[in-house]
Structure 1
Amino acid sequence: MPLYQQLEEQIHALIMSGALPTGAVLPAERQLAENLGVSRVTIQRAYAALRQRNLLSSQGRKGFLVRSRPEQVHPGMDRLKGFTEEMRELGKVPSSRVTERAIVHDRSISSIFGLPSTAPILKLTRIRCGDDIAMSREVAWYNLKAVPALEHGDLSGSVYAFLADEAGARLVRCEQTIEATMPTAEECRIFDFDEPSPCLLIKRHSFSDAGVMIEYVEGLFRGDMYSYRLKLRT
């Protein structure tokens, strides 16, 4: 294992054990290199890797600060549920901030729904939070032909609850994929990442009990907080 990776893992272990608590200041690169008798490049690479894991933040000439460790959540994937319900099950207070709400005519999105390119689609972009911490950035599209009530409905809370209680279009099944990806600069700002850190991209197609596709959503979930749990049987 390269020297910088050995150093990275040693510092990581100290942070995880609490020996280096939140707020602890690590020496500047030049100072630590001199103390350990290694090259400054080795220290730079170790610190850069730890910053990418969101464990350190740079304090300029003062050195590097140990960041607070986000609490990991382990939601199950045994049934269809929305973010609001998921957060409540995990004992967190859900909230959302709408950053975009618009009626769009998008050929590629319409084709996902099997609709004409001229079909009106509701696009809803939200920052989803648990206990006021940004957990995901969600971009969702909704089939207004199937559920016209969505156009002017109150979507500040759970869209799934609105669909079931107000629009009579309860979602009963979905098709979902999960893949690893890196966040954009904008998403790094949303998640308060100093450096891009791996995230989970979840794409979901959701259907009503009539078999009509109502929702297509792409949700980016921060990888330092999310660990999904599956139960499989033979």
Structure 2
Amino acid sequence: MPPALTFAAARGEAIHRRTTGKSASKTGDVTKQATLSSQLRLNNDTALPHYLQLERQIGALIETGVIPLGTTLPPSRKLASDLGLSRTTIQKCYDTLRRNNLLSADGRRGFTVIAGDRVEPSLERLKGFTEEMREIGRTPSSRVIERAVVADRSVASVFGLPSTASFLKLVRVRFGDDTPMSREVAWYNLSAAPALETDDLKGSVYELLRKSGAALTHCEQTIEAAQPNAEECATFGFDEPRPCLLIKRRSFAADNQLIEYVEGLFRGDSYAYRLKLSI
């Protein structure tokens, strides 16, 4: 969802999701333009400070989906002026919401909603995107951007194969409940899984590999911070680069043969990995 979404459109989007289970179109049916300030009510007949009243009300709007994931809140100066409050009061409210993991400080952009639809899959075992989304109750889907059989010397060196070896290059945008979650560039060893050349690859490639006798059993994976390029920003609906997670994975079959090498860029405003560690 584009971060410039108005709060009126945000409310319409949230209602549409709750009633249909789908994301509304960018144009939507909402015509009345509302502001965040029009949805807030301050009570002067209470000992509760204004910043906490605002924090509770904005927090409720976020958690109920009225203000959806990715929405950028008004600058503190603007909201303070609209409500007739000091800028310090608004800053304290935003800071409290940030400490409660509902907002993310986004530099000059201000504060962006990160809660509600945030995905926190666990990393206790090897699994693909499709399985990951299903485990957390989301509907996975993919859009194939590029699919080609290639011979690439640098890719062959990753797999430890001759430079003439053939690989399936697959570029996909992966969605969870119609929200673009990642853009993946993957290469597959066709000598180990030749059926991938003709299979329907809109679903789970891992499931296809299992059926073809080249099931993945273990992987080596790194996760690092990355900045999206212009094409990736367009994929995620960012109007300027935002922090993302770059996940690089080498996945192997039981005989230690490298089957897959994939680089996936995941949006940082809605994706966080959860680990369980023990002594």
- TM normalised by structure 2 equals 0.64
Partner of 2:142: 96
Partner of 1:73: 119
Partner of 1:49: 107
* Residues 51-200 of structure 1 aligned to structure 2 (within 5 Å): 51=109, 54=112, 71-165=117-211, 167-200=212-245
Offset at 1:194? 2.1
Q: 1:202, 1:112 → 2: CA distance?
A: 16
- What SS class does the counterpart of residue 252 from structure 2 fall into? strand
- What SS class does the counterpart of residue 141 from structure 1 fall into? strand
Offset at 1:69? 5.9
CA 1:72–1:118: 2 relative to 1, 3 Å: same
User: Does the aligned pair in 2 maintain the 1:199–1:223 contact within 8 Å?
Assistant: yes
Tell me which amino acid in the other structure corresponds to 1:139. V
User: Does the aligned pair in 2 maintain the 1:52–1:195 contact within 8 Å?
Assistant: no
Partner of 2:28: none
The CA RMSD measured in Å over matched residues stands at 3.1
Q: 1:14, 1:49 → 2: CA distance?
A: 24
CA 1:149–1:233: 2 relative to 1, 3 Å: same
Q: 2:57, 2:267 → 1: CA distance?
A: 20
CA 1:15–1:73: 2 relative to 1, 3 Å: farther
Q: 1:88, 1:185 → 2: CA distance?
A: 30
Offset at 1:161? 0.3
- C-alpha deviations, 1:62-90, integer Å up to 9, x for none? xxxxxx96611110000000000000000
User: Does the aligned pair in 2 maintain the 1:103–1:121 contact within 8 Å?
Assistant: yes
Q: Which has the higher relative contact order, 1 or 2, with Cα contacts under 8 A spaced 6 or more apart?
A: 1
Tell me which amino acid in the other structure corresponds to 1:137. R
Q: Percent identity?
A: 56
CA 1:198–1:14: 2 relative to 1, 3 Å: farther
Offset at 1:32? 7.5
Offset at 1:17? 2.5
Offset at 1:185? 1.0
CA 1:79–1:218: 2 relative to 1, 3 Å: same
More strand by share: 1
Offset at 1:50? 5.7
Offset at 1:49? 2.4
User: Which of 196, 218, 222 is equivalent to 2:263?
Assistant: 218
CA 1:70–1:103: 2 relative to 1, 3 Å: farther
Tell me which amino acid in the other structure corresponds to 1:51. R
User: Which of 248, 270, 273 is equivalent to 1:203?
Assistant: 248
CA 1:149–1:193: 2 relative to 1, 3 Å: same
Offset at 1:200? 0.3
CA 1:116–1:50: 2 relative to 1, 3 Å: same
Offset at 1:27? 7.5
Q: 1:178, 1:189 → 2: CA distance?
A: 22
Q: Which runs of 5+ in 2 are unaligned?
A: 1-50, 88-104
User: Does the aligned pair in 1 maintain the 2:143–2:173 contact within 8 Å?
Assistant: yes
Q: 1:142, 1:177 → 2: CA distance?
A: 18
1:17 maps to 2:75: no
- What SS class does the counterpart of residue 111 from structure 1 fall into? helix
Q: 2:79, 2:135 → 1: CA distance?
A: 47
